[in-house]
Structure 1
Amino acid sequence: MQMYEVTAMAPEGPEEVYQAVIFAEDEDDALNQLEEQLKEQNIAHGMCMAEEV
């Protein structure tokens, strides 16, 4: 497991709408976990990013 900083951007514009640190197997797993969290909390978003920390 690695630690990833994940960020979701606003649907339109450069603002961050969600940021967290997630433990995941890889970058794809981190992004999948982020998508699930956003869906559960009904947070509209655009592009998502994950960076290993």
Structure 2
Amino acid sequence: MQMYEVTALAPEGPEEVYQAMVFAEDEDDALNQLEEQLKEQGIAHGMCMAEEV
């Protein structure tokens, strides 16, 4: 497993609405974890990104 920095941007604009560090198997897994966290917390978002650190 690798550590990823995941970021979600606002639905309309470049502002970050959520940022976290997650352990994941790959980038897709990191993004899936981010999507689940956002859904659980009811955070509206646009584009999501994951970067291995």
Fold-level match, TM-score > 0.5? yes
How far, CA to CA, are the matches of 2:27 and 2:9 in structure 1? 17
* Structure 1: gaps spanning 5 or more residues: none
TM-score by length of 1: 1.00
The corresponding residue for 1:35 is 35
How far, CA to CA, are the matches of 1:32 and 1:21 in structure 2? 13
How many pairs are equivalent? 53
TM-score by length of 2: 1.00
Deviation at 1:16, TM superposition (A): 0.1
CA RMSD of aligned residues (A): 0.2
* Structure 2: gaps spanning 5 or more residues: none
Deviation at 1:44, TM superposition (A): 0.1
Give every structure 1 segment of 4 or more consecutive aligned residues whose post-TM-superposition deviation is greater than 4 Å.
none
